A and B are shown apart, each in its own frame.
Chain A
Amino acid sequence: MTPRLQRWRQSLKAGWKLLTQNRMGLVGVIMLGSVIGMAVFAPWIAPYDPNETSMVTIDDIYAEPSREHIMGTDDGGKDVFSSFVYGARVSLVVGFTAAMISMIIGGTIGLTAGFLGGRIGNFLMRLTDIFLVIPDLPLMIVIVAILGPSLWNIILVIGFLGWTGTARIVRAQSLSVKERQFVTRARAIGAGNFYILRRHIFPLVLPLMVTNTVLVISLSILDESTLSFLGLGDPTTLSWGGMINYAFTRGAISAGAWWAIVAPGLGIVWVVLACTLVGNALEEVFNPRLKTHHLQGESKMIPHRGLAEPVVTDDHVVA
């Protein structure tokens, strides 16, 4: 392993440590981890296979939570818990994939706009403004309605509309890094644009991108849930949003079957909250520290208890 890769690994380990030392970060990581674990181990966790068709009687429909069905059953007599567990997969996959797409698009546009500046930069930023101004959700609804509600269409639509925030942040950061003296020095050595982007600008932009992407994940999951709730979800898969949709449209409320709505709803809240906590913690971790020019280095000042008044006693010594 080359020394550069070794140092990347070290940075990752150090970053992980900082993240988990932060209380918010730790809670968020645990929350997120639990959901991801649940999604990955779904076949082992879910007591019933949601795709299995079985004979249902009238008693099975919207049955209350019981020992056989810990979260009750839905309108088709299927176990809500199993749907919940498998539903996590859809929500997470869509969320993560769409966020990745957003990150790649936003990162590229931001880096290009910030680094090249000039007319290209201006054009890209105006493009970003246009995308920002367009209301996301109605546009998504329209596009999905036109293209058809397949899982990939949903992922692409969310991904292609969610990059604007990332682009702006990345552009601002590239602009500021570009002006720093070590970039001028690299140019003076004879480095070309790609080299500077790769070696100097990208590593300093990446932490910001990662932090922003985590928050974009939560937004993507929300978007997907909304689309599914509106009936535009992929009919072949069942995500949490879809579960809520079916519950609403098939009379769960009038039947008093709160479990059919609360379970997936809480699931969405849980994941979004987890992502937000992790994102906020990452921001604190990556916050560019104040530059220190003093030989003594940086040290956190402990606030003195009480006022900053001197205490002078007779023998000129303070305990």
Chain B
Amino acid sequence: MLLPEPPLLEVRRLSTNFETEEGTFKAVEDLSFELQTGESLGLVGESGCGKTTAMLSLLRLLPAAGRIVSGEIRLAGQNLLELDEAQMRQVRWRQISMVFQGAMNAFNPVRTIGHQIGEALVLHAMAPSLDAARPRVIELLEMVGIPGSRETLYPHQCSGGMRQRAMIAMALACGPQLIIADEPTTALDVMIQAQILELLEGLQANLGLSIIFVTHDLSIVAEVCHRVLVMYGGVLAEYCDVDTIFNNARHPYTRRLLAAFPDLSRPTGRLISIPGHPPRLNDLPPGCRFAARCPLAFEPCFAEQPSPRLLEAGHWISCHLDRGEVA
């Protein structure tokens, strides 16, 4: 994809493994994508498909058993995998930050939310002390729609929606260019979900943020994302812009996933389900990871894992059925 300015984030052939007693889990294999400034990418997949691992790899926050075995992660041209820990700490939160899954429940219950957001500022040397950080904390809270006076509230005094907003405020503390939102609305009611999505869209417009939405819910992606990457079993299944995904998806998994989501605009459609379950990542079959559940699988599918190929401009797919040009 050629654009006048280089992309903010470029991930090339990222592979991450987990070493455990039960073998090597290939959590992410050969993942590539790009993100422009001010763009939002939806990373979609079901539980266990590797999307959170991929994001933790971006931030290099993997648990002790995780290893990034190959690939490149370029943020504004610089390869993050070549940095040492001290340099990486300058990148985390200042250039890329993350709203973790279930983070709204991860607040320290004995400190006020203002204190915790202030902590983030102090730790990253954005303010010399908690008192000095207060004005910025109030500014951040106002930015996410919480009145500044609420900074003295404790987490248990705040509702789920408010805590999620506070988490977003914490992620914005150091003015990053890229935010990763991991399942930001999963546990929230549909109305609060709409509020949070509206907030994120507004922040994107006002601050020029790039956002990666990690979610299992395709419909959210249709609302707020420009491009979509569908993952299955640790690999890229399909990667294209949002309109194409919903109206011209080509990968069998994507198509079946779409057909499994109820669409209120077409209520008489029949929902399908995908029988079976994803493969165990330490015991992978030799061919395509979706072959066992794919209704269109034929011989090559069981022999060789298809690598991502460019089908048409900006549309990548890993499938033997669609033989596009090799990347």
Contacts and interface: CB of A to CB of B under 8 A. Distances in A.
A85 B70 CA distance: 67
Given A295-B47, A296-B281, A303-B65, A309 B71 contact: no
B21 A296 contact: no
A146 interface: no
Contacts of A316: 13, 69-71
A295 B278 CA distance: 8
A295 B67 contact: no
Interface stretch (B56-64, B235-243, B314-322): B56-64
Contact of A302 (B47, B65, B280): B65
B18 A308 contact: no
Nearest to B62: A308
B64 A301 contact: yes
Interface residues of A, number: 19
Contacts of B22: 299
Nearest to A313: B70
Interface string B246-285: 0000000000000000000000000000000110111000
A258 to B, nearest CB: 51
Given A295-B278, A317-B69, A302 B63 contact: no
A132 to B, nearest CB: 27
Contacts of A308: 60, 62-64, 66-67
A296 B48 contact: yes
A299 B19 contact: no
A296 B280 contact: yes
Interface string A22-35: 00000000000000
Given A301-B20, A302-B21, A295 B277 contact: yes
A300 B47 CA distance: 19
B20 A299 contact: yes
Nearest to B83: A309
B63 A294 contact: no
State which size class the interface on B falls in.
Answer: 20 to 34
A25 B133 CA distance: 52
Interface in A273-319: 293-296, 299-304, 307-312, 316-318
B311 interface: no
B325 interface: no
Contact of A294 (B47, B69, B71): B47
B214 interface: no
Nearest to A309: B85
Contacts of A299: 20-22
Interface in B41-89: 47-48, 60, 62-71, 81-82, 84-85
Contact of A310 (B60, B64, B65): B60
Contacts of B13: 316
B20 A300 contact: yes
Contacts of B154: none
A299 B48 CA distance: 14
Contacts of B85: 307, 309
A307 B48 CA distance: 25
B64 to A, nearest CB: 4
A303 B71 CA distance: 22
B107 interface: no
B290 to A, nearest CB: 15
Contacts of A312: 68, 70, 81-82
A310 B47 CA distance: 25
A310 B67 contact: yes
Nearest to B69: A318
Nearest to A306: B64
A301 B66 CA distance: 9
Contacts of B47: 293-295
A310 B69 contact: yes
B25 interface: yes
Contact of B67 (A293, A294, A318): A318
Nearest to A293: B47
Nearest to B20: A299
B68 A310 contact: yes
A308 B18 CA distance: 11
A118 B21 CA distance: 47
A174 to B, nearest CB: 25
Nearest to B64: A303
Contacts of A318: 67, 69-70
* 6 A-B pairs with least C-beta separation: A301-B65, A310-B68, A316-B70, A303-B64, A299-B20, A299-B22
Given A295-B278, A300-B21, 11 more contacts: A295-B280, A299-B22, A300-B20, A301-B64, A304-B65, A308-B63, A309-B84, A310-B60, A312-B81, A316-B70, A318-B70
Interface of A: 293-296, 299-304, 307-312, 316-318
6 contacts: A301-B18, A303-B64, A308-B63, A309-B84, A310-B60, A310-B67
